[in-house]
Amino acid sequence: MVKSYFTFNKIQDNPYRIMNLMVLIFLVLWIGYINHNFLISSFSSLGIFTFFYYQNIPMKQLLKRMFLIGCGLLLAFTLGLLSTYVIWLEPFAVGAVAFFSRFILRLFHISKPGGLFFAMLAAMGTSMSIPLSHLPTAATFFFMGVVFSLIAAFLTKKLDSRPEQEVIKVSLKERFHQEPLVIIDSIFYSAALFLSVYVSHGLNMKNPYWLTLSCASILLAENLDAMKHRQVQYLIGSMLGLCLSAVLSLIPFTQLETIGLITLLYGISQFLVARNYAVANIFLNPMALMLSTLVRNTYLISLIEYRFIGIVIGSFIGLGVAWVMNIGLQHYLAVVKEKYEA
């Protein structure tokens, strides 16, 4: 059982994807460093989540898809930011983003990372307080990250030697008929993230979006059994990652050393995430915490407790909602089968 949580999956990946991802995060951090303004890095780093949607499809379709995804991520983040001006709207904003991102990306079979980053960015927006006059500047820095991602995708595609995936043109109506559970799945997904935002803000957590991210990460799995396995991997890897974070907090890194370490951890975690989720989280958690301390100038140790609480509560909310949905669907199918046989 324990061994299964640390078994590595064999996947065919483009090594240049990881290299370009490391270049992207280093580039946005370096721009913030030389300008003595890590807010540039903060917003630009959000835009490079666009690159996570890279797929080995024809170049024209790839760039078009990633551009639309980048604009969608910016819209999700902006909606989260705007919802802070009417506090009770925050869970609804994240829930709406979660529903539509899950609905659309499932129809187009973009399952991983799927709606994860859309929901996360909306939740991040609800945890920030930015004057309306500063929104255009924040959006510009964000879109700069999107542009960097498109350039990296172009270069990665040029260097991708794997067989190209064919994109089959199917009408939206046909896609909808092929996915009969897409509405129900999207409703449960958005309900889970609505609840996660409500709980995280109710607990007055530091960086409350961590709880929502944990919830969304568990729901990224394809079925209940996979979610159970993923949750255990997530908890094991995160606990080890937080221990590593505590050790790193004892070392007085300079800003340049921190940038280099974040870049290294970023690359290692993304190399591992599709191969073994538990091991990836060992490196993902210290990377996220160090990035937060660099950008927001906060103390690393003070964030570890909030990260731990967010991981535990968020993962159980996600698993709980998935269990309710699974029970409900099993009951429905059993009743339908019984009536059909009668």
302's CB contacts (< 8 A; 6+ apart) are 206
Q: Is the pTM of this model over 0.85?
A: yes
Is residue 196 included in any domain, yes or no? yes
| pLDDT on residue 87 | 82
Residue 242 has pLDDT above 80, yes or no: yes
What is the band of 246 on the pLDDT scale with cuts at 50, 70, 90? confident
Is residue 8 included in any domain, yes or no? no
Is residue 94 included in any domain, yes or no? yes
Distance CA 159, CA 17 (A): 9
Query: Residue 40 burial (CB < 10 Å; 0-12/13-18/19+)?
Result: buried
For 169, the domain range is 15-341
Among the ranges given (21-25, 94-98, 104-108, 154-158), the one the predictor scored with the smallest mean pLDDT: 104-108
Mean pLDDT of the chain: 88
Is residue 2 included in any domain, yes or no? no
Is residue 335 included in any domain, yes or no? yes
Is residue 200 included in any domain, yes or no? yes
**Contact by Cβ (8 Å): 152, 49:** no
**Contact by Cβ (8 Å): 84, 125:** yes
Q: Which residue has the tokens 């089959």?
A: 168
| pLDDT on residue 11 | 82
User: For 46-94, what is each residue's pLDDT tens digit?
Assistant: 999 999 999 999 999 999 999 999 999 999 999 999 999 888 899 999 9
What is the band of 114 on the pLDDT scale with cuts at 50, 70, 90? confident
**Contact by Cβ (8 Å): 253, 286:** no
- Full DSSP string of 208-232: THHHHHHHHHHTTSSSHHHHHHHHH
What is the band of 202 on the pLDDT scale with cuts at 50, 70, 90? confident
Among the ranges given (10-19, 57-66, 175-184, 291-300), the one the predictor scored with the smallest mean pLDDT: 291-300
| pLDDT on residue 8 | 82
Return left, alpha or beta for 59; rule: phi > 0 is left, psi -120 to 50 is alpha, else beta.
Answer: alpha
Is residue 56 included in any domain, yes or no? yes
Residue 136 has pLDDT above 80, yes or no: yes
Whether the bond into 136 is cis, omega within 30 of 0: no
| pLDDT on residue 290 | 87
Q: Which residue has the tokens 């979660």?
A: 98
Q: Give counts: helices (H), strands (E), the chain.
A: 14, 0
What is the band of 129 on the pLDDT scale with cuts at 50, 70, 90? confident
Residue 299 has pLDDT above 80, yes or no: no
What is the band of 323 on the pLDDT scale with cuts at 50, 70, 90? confident
What is the band of 306 on the pLDDT scale with cuts at 50, 70, 90? confident
How many residues are recorded in the chain?
A: 342
Residue 207 has pLDDT above 80, yes or no: no
What is the band of 181 on the pLDDT scale with cuts at 50, 70, 90? confident
| pLDDT on residue 342 | 63
Is residue 6 included in any domain, yes or no? no
Q: How many domains does the chain have?
A: 1
